[in-house]
Amino acid sequence: MPTLSIEDIRNNPWNIITIPLPEFPSEILLEVAYRAAEYCFRSEYELMEAARRRRYIPSWFNTDEILPDAHEDSEDRYLRALDKHDEIRARFETAFIDVTEDDEVEEVRISIVRRVLQRVQRWLSRSE
């Protein structure tokens, strides 16, 4: 069975939901997957709330058929992406961050964000 790659994420961030992570993913793959999951759950949350307020109606939505409310589809996608985000964060913390009992979860999240930002800054400086 194929496993998730950075190219899969670049092609479609939602691949993080449908393609499993490798057994031993690299640090950069987990960082990119973490950001993709964050994008997915945040954007679906916005669409879910917009659908609830009738500011967004999905193209598939047809009031003539018995379908879930428009917001329920986004809610399902939001929850799946949020679960994947939490799974990726846990795998990242286990594999790449020394967490002791005294460490706070927020400190771990800040460490992940710092690492991602450092990589982005290095990448941007190379492309200039």
The type of residue at 120 is V
Residue 6 has pLDDT above 90, yes or no: yes
Q: What is the predicted pLDDT for the residue at 128?
A: 53
Q: For position 125, what pLDDT does the model report?
A: 72
Q: Is 55 exposed, middle or buried (0-12, 13-18, 19+ CB in 10 A)?
A: exposed
Tell me the domain boundaries of the chain: 6-127
Kindly give the interhelix angle for 105-127 and 27-52, rounded to the nearest 10 degrees.
Answer: 100
As a whole number of angstroms, the distance between CA 99 and CA 110 comes to 13
For residue 93, what pLDDT band results from cuts at 50, 70 and 90?
confident
- The backbone region for 75, taken as left when phi is positive above 0, alpha when psi lies in -120 to 50, beta otherwise, is alpha
How much is the average pLDDT of 102-128?
A: 68
